Structure 1
């Protein structure tokens, strides 16, 4: 695998040698001072270009970055599903190379760059031939810190969690595994993870990031809570599914009560107790 220095030198050299590229900047985990570096981190790079057209007319130019194993062009995906993108302003290639490195490369015109450059505090300038990049402070992940919920947001999260469990229960009872799994792993889990984020926030004065899709949960939760969270995952066996559901209930109840107490928000114990009773009835085929 090529080293970080080799990849960064390559990115900068290509930009320096191509007059169409006027500036380079990087974002993502490699600019985040709070993240420990490892070999799996992507290189999130943007080239500021005079125009995108020549780079799109012959896309083979990206071969200069290395031997590509798999590539994705998300702008084409958007177009395939009817989402409009202006290829004259920007375009992106996601490239995984055979040596294991990955570069997510975007090209943007100066106008497009100026519209969003300051929108992410993890932006780090690497090269600026024309002094066109706006001035920034040192990179920080502040934009990704947990935000304190309002009382209404807290109430809605609790209600959504408990309410949607009735759909999970019915899906299991009807042997509709795809529906039950989707409702549980998408809708219900989203509420669990939102509450976990708020729990982490209350314990850190809302000054840290839980990471994309909760990847930092293990870092910020107690061992007991993280083990409980890990047990909310299940396979297709319905007995195991039910066990995961009730573990999710216990976890949600525990952290929601803690968050509510910390923020001065009232936890609705009635919907908790009533839905728990309903779940037990469905599980035991006692619904009348």
Structure 2
């Protein structure tokens, strides 16, 4: 794998020789002082250019400047605030293990960037002005409002019933999607808020909560790790109930300190529903049990 100095040399060599490139910015993990340094970090780079389309039409510069590609993804990102502006983004994984995410943006739009993880590597025309030292202040977990917290609680418990339904029907893909994508997405929000609350809203948990382990108490992290399961239905049930226990423990603490409501009654009812669904087993394997309670009836 190329050393960092070599990769930066290649990026700046191309930019320095090419009159279309006026600004080079580095952002992401390689300028984040709180990220552990390792060789797997991406090179997140923005070229501020006078002409974007020419880099898109003729992509011979990729191999000529940076070497043999393993795989690439080319995306266009439209700015929400300005529909007339687009970014061309080349996500490039090279054969030696180096990954460069190189974005092209019009140079005359660069001065409006609002990303605290930004370092100026080259500014031919002095467009950027004074840029503060990089920090992750743009990415710290901020305190949510009451509505956001209560919506996250509701998402966890509501979609937990879908996990139970999928398990009862023997629909592994659906159950796993609901647990590992939908419910987990809301759970990561709740855990991030819990971490933020206990750190004066000054920490960045990373994308998808990637740094939660180092920020959470050991027992809570151990509980979160148990919410991951393989394809075995019994272990998925265990993970689902662990998700509920963790939500309850963290949710009650959040509600107490942030002045919102934790849905204890919904928690109780959904937990009981899931317990009964588990006891009844898969529909394909055994008949529905007779019961006077509606929750034991046929699934819609």
TM over 0.5: yes
Q: 1:1-288, aligned counterparts within 5 Å?
A: 1-63=1-63, 64-75=65-76, 89-115=86-112, 117=113, 119-285=114-280, 287-288=296-297
**Post-superposition offset of 1:276:** 0.7
**Using the alignment, how far apart are the partners of 2:140 and 2:18 within structure 1?**
37
Contact 1:21–1:47 (Cα < 8 Å) also in 2: yes
Contact 1:50–1:109 (Cα < 8 Å) also in 2: yes
Contact 2:110–2:127 (Cα < 8 Å) also in 1: no
**Post-superposition offset of 1:89:** 4.9
**TM-score (normalised: structure 1):** 0.91
**Using the alignment, how far apart are the partners of 1:10 and 1:215 within structure 2?**
30
CA deviations on 1:125-160 (whole Å, 9 max, x unpaired) are 100111112432111111111111112222221122
**TM-score (normalised: structure 2):** 0.88
**Using the alignment, how far apart are the partners of 2:30 and 2:172 within structure 1?**
40
- Give the number of equivalent residue pairs: 278
**Using the alignment, how far apart are the partners of 1:277 and 1:92 within structure 2?**
48
CA deviations on 1:74-96 (whole Å, 9 max, x unpaired) are 23xx89xxxxx87x853121111
Q: Secondary structure at the match of 1:73?
A: strand
Give ranges in structure 2 of 5+ residues lacking alignment: 281-288, 290-295
Give ranges in structure 1 of 5+ residues lacking alignment: 80-84
Q: Which segment drifts farther, 172-181 or 190-199?
A: 172-181
**Post-superposition offset of 1:27:** 0.7
CA 1:53–1:149 in structure 2 vs 1: closer, same or farther (change >3 Å)? closer
- Divergent runs of 4+, >2 A: 111-115
